[in-house]
Homo-oligomer: A and B are copies of this chain.
Amino acid sequence: MREVAVLGIGITKWGELWEKSLRDIYVETALLALDDAGVDHIDSMYVGSMSSGIFVGQEHIASLLADYLGQAPVPSTRVETACASGGLALRLGFIEVASGMNDVVLVGGVEKMTDVSGNEATYALGTAADQEYEGYHGITFPGLYALIARAHMEKYGTTREQLAMVAVKNHCNGSKNPLAQFPFEITVDSVLNSVMVADPLRILDCSPITDGAAALVICPVEMVRKMNKPVIKIIGTGQATDTIALSSRKDLTWLEATYQAAKEAYAMAQNKPEDMDLIEVHDCFTIAEICVLEALGIVERGKGGEAAEQGLTSLEGKIPVNTSGGLKAKGHPVGATGTAQVVEIVKQLRGEAGERQINNPRIGMAQNMGGSGGSSVVHIFERE
């Protein structure tokens, strides 16, 4: 297989984008990525979207977006694995370039979530859980992650305050990211006094509903070298599944799909958790970041709660996590999140992260997750 690199990145301001439709949001972002890459031609494209069908009544967005980007007749593929759709789009693009089938592939993710009324967004997100065995009984995602949080607190003594500190850290990072949906700091007190959603999770433990997109142009490493651009290699990719229903797991606190995906990515990259200079993780809820850090092997099992508290994962910490603000502060347009994580890693590895730039990172990882952990996609990147 050929070596693959990220040549261009694109992302725009996220939030409630009522003036823009799904196609506008995507095309704007994709054009930025093509411009950043310095190419005017692509060989194919992949787009991740969790539920454009329910959110905006539009399936077949692979054709729609290729058309509106002015790129038809190139092959265009929509992939979906709930909130891990954006990371999955990168993996499939990676395989296509690595195989030699095509050279320049546009990889993106998009979701338009705010054009709904009542509880439609909660319903749409709920379709990532097992509808017959979980959704039917009325549980929604805050409820599922609340069960995980309660189990983690019981088993490992994780505290309510530790959960809050994850949100505080990510908002601190997000306050330095002008494209974030909520670019401001919050305090532990404000988290602890925010509205209860599903005990013990409060509203400031939850990532928001967001409209947004992100895009990448990937190609063979050789091509980047010839263009004299910074070489950000994709050195590892991993993807795995777990039981979709939380009730089928042996241990509610353990994210097996993330563990397996990371294992595959570490093996391919020939490195280990200690080699990472920064990580973007899927903090759809504060407890998720805690469990993910354990599954990735960044901290020991049960020690995830201490990471934010002790400053390990802060911008100045040993291993900065979610320098972008994470899903919590940056926003969580579900199908775009996995691609946006990679945009942040590339910005940091290139030294283009502005106020939140960390000191000379060389290796970064992005971990993206679907449902209550039923699927996960992990990528590792290295600056040459």
Name the contact of A375 in the complex, choosing from B76, B101, B371 (C-beta under 8 A). B76
Query: Would you call B242 and A371 a contact (CB within 8 A)?
Result: no
Contact call A60/B375, Cβ cutoff below 8 A: yes
Cα distance A23–B44 in the bound complex, in angstroms: 31
Q: Is the interface of A mostly helix, strand, loop or mixed?
A: mixed
**Chain B residues within an 8 Å CB radius of A60:** 50, 80-82, 127-129, 244, 370-371, 374-375
Contacting residues, chain B, for A64 (C-beta < 8 A): 130, 244, 374
Could you tell me which residues of chain A, from 256 to 282, have a CB within 8 Å of some CB in chain B?
Answer: 256-257, 260-261
Evaluate contact between B77 and A81: CB separation under 8 angstroms.
Answer: yes
Asked if A95 and B101 sit within 8 Å, CB to CB, the answer is: yes
Nearest CB on B from A122, distance (A): 13
Give A347 Cβ to nearest chain B Cβ, in Å.
27
Is A62 close to B, CB under 8 A?
yes
Q: Which single member of B54, B88, B129 contacts A53 (CB below 8 Å)?
A: B54
Partner of A58, one of B72, B96, B131: B131
Contact A73-B135, Cβ < 8 Å, known A63-B375, A64-B130, A98-B99: no
A76 x B67 contact (CB < 8 A) = no
User: A78 is contacted by which of B63, B81, B101 (Cβ under 8 Å)?
Assistant: B81
Within 8 A of B (CB), among A119-136: 123-124, 127-132, 135
Given the complex, which residues of B lie within 8 Å of A72, measured CB to CB? 240-243, 257
Is the beta-carbon distance between A241 and B58 smaller than 8 angstroms?
A: no
A190 within 8 A of B: no
Q: Which of A44, A60, A71 has the most CB of B within 10 A?
A: A60
A59 sits at the interface (CB 8 A): yes
Taken together as a complex, chains A and B put the C-alpha atoms of A128 and B50 apart, in Å, by 16
Chain B residue numbers with a CB within 8 Å of A66 are: 241
Provide a sorted-by-A list of 8 A–B residue pairs whose CB atoms are within 8 angstroms: A1-B101, A57-B135, A63-B81, A64-B244, A67-B244, A71-B241, A73-B257, A77-B88
Chain A contacts to B: CB under 8 angstroms:
1, 21, 23, 44, 50-51, 53-54, 56-60, 62-64, 66-67, 71-82, 88, 92, 95-96, 98-101, 123-124, 127-132, 135, 239-245, 248, 256-257, 260-261, 370-371, 374-375
